[in-house]
Amino acid sequence: MNRPLLDIRKLTTCFASHEGIAKAVDTVSLSFMQGETLAIVGESGCGKTVLALSILGLIPDPPGRVTEGTILYKDQDLLEMSENELMEIRGNAISMIFQEPMTALNPVFRINDQIAEPLRLHQGFNKKEALKKAVDALNLVGIPNPAKIATSYPHELSGGMRQRVMIAMALACNPDILIADEPTTALDVTIQAQILDLMNELKERINGSLMLITHDLGVVARMAQRVAVMYSGKIIELSDAKTLYAAPLHPYTQGLLASVPTLGETTRLTPIPGIVPSIFNLPTGCRFHPRCPRKFQKCELMVPPLLEPEPGRQVRCWLYEDD
């Protein structure tokens, strides 16, 4: 039986503030295989980005800190690695496309220098070779006139071009795992489609694995084989994508899908009532129960575990407890 390429076990990441200690990621367990696309979905603030940053050891300490768990990459625990060891992993074996390319790219360096840096650091290329490879990487992601764009600064490019540069930089070293954090945010729908097709094509070319972090369920349906739904720092449903869309189990997942507009439908959308609770003031029991239309007394008193009502599917909801 094949081992997972990345195996996350009971990961907990906390942040301290004057309001107290908050678990932004709370005992999350996930794994995925070589060549798989796993989508992490949920509303803003549910812990998706913190999960990604925890994998790469990029949580700022203080105020944040991983307090529990293991993250196994090829049987090595990333949480036990030194900073120098992690630097060998970041951008080389595991790369990340950050949510906002204008803030992720360094404004005072040219594009080719920024793409060449991981090539020189991890692949051993000299400066001339790395700069040539940077132009090749820009060409690979479909940027017109890549030699000219390579000498540009980030502010001289459009949002779509900057996003392509981020993808080129992330894929320059042919990583095993690509983490894409809201890769199509703030892009128009035409550019969104191009970026998603590009990511899929390049993932297939290098046989890499993709962790796609998004709140866009349309993107998930297009890209992912499996989906993990997060709410207030916890995984509340995990399933293959087709089954999840056909028959969501958790009331929160059902609410998310009911709130998505469908082409040609004229019926009114059904929003999820209420708001996401503050991570500094979480409700007792199930964290979704104040917004849940199907709650009962046990939901308010006890935190549900991840149950497995069907093979290959997990859901954190007392409705599926085996009596």
**Which residue type sits at 198?**
L
Same domain as 152, residue 35: no
pTM of the model: 0.90
Statement: residue 186 has pLDDT above 80: no
- Checking 291-295 for CB contacts under 8 A at 24+ apart, the result is 291/252, 291/255, 292/251, 292/252, 293/251, 294/251, 294/319
Does 207 map to a domain? Answer: yes
Does 302 map to a domain? Answer: no
- Quick one: how far is CA 277 from the chain centroid? 21
Domain's final residue, options 174, 189, 204: 174
Give the lowest-confidence range in 107-116, 148-157, 183-192, 250-259.
Answer: 183-192
Statement: residue 237 has pLDDT above 80: yes
Domain's final residue, options 152, 174, 196: 174
Same domain as 157, residue 44: no
Q: What is the pLDDT confidence band of residue 323, given thresholds at 50, 70 and 90?
A: low
Does 286 map to a domain? Answer: no
Question: What domain range is 140 assigned to?
Answer: 104-174
**Residues paired with residue 72 on neighbouring β-strands, in sequence order:** 7, 77
What confidence tens digit (pLDDT) does each residue in 97-112 have? 887 777 888 999 999 9
| pLDDT for residue 99 | 79
Same domain as 68, residue 19: yes
Mean pLDDT of 232-249: 95
Write the CB contacts of 309 (distance below 8 Å, at least 6 apart in sequence): 249, 315, 320, 322
Same domain as 142, residue 67: no
State the pairing for strand pair 177-181/209-214. parallel
Domain's final residue, options 133, 157, 174: 174
Q: What is the pLDDT confidence band of residue 201, given thresholds at 50, 70 and 90?
A: confident
Tokens of 308: 């497995």
pLDDT, mean over the chain: 89
Statement: residue 316 has pLDDT above 70: yes
Structural domains in the chain (count): 2
Does 301 map to a domain? Answer: no
Please give the order of strands across the beta sheet that includes 76-77. 20-32, 6-17, 64-73, 76-77
Number of H helices, E strands in the chain: 12, 12
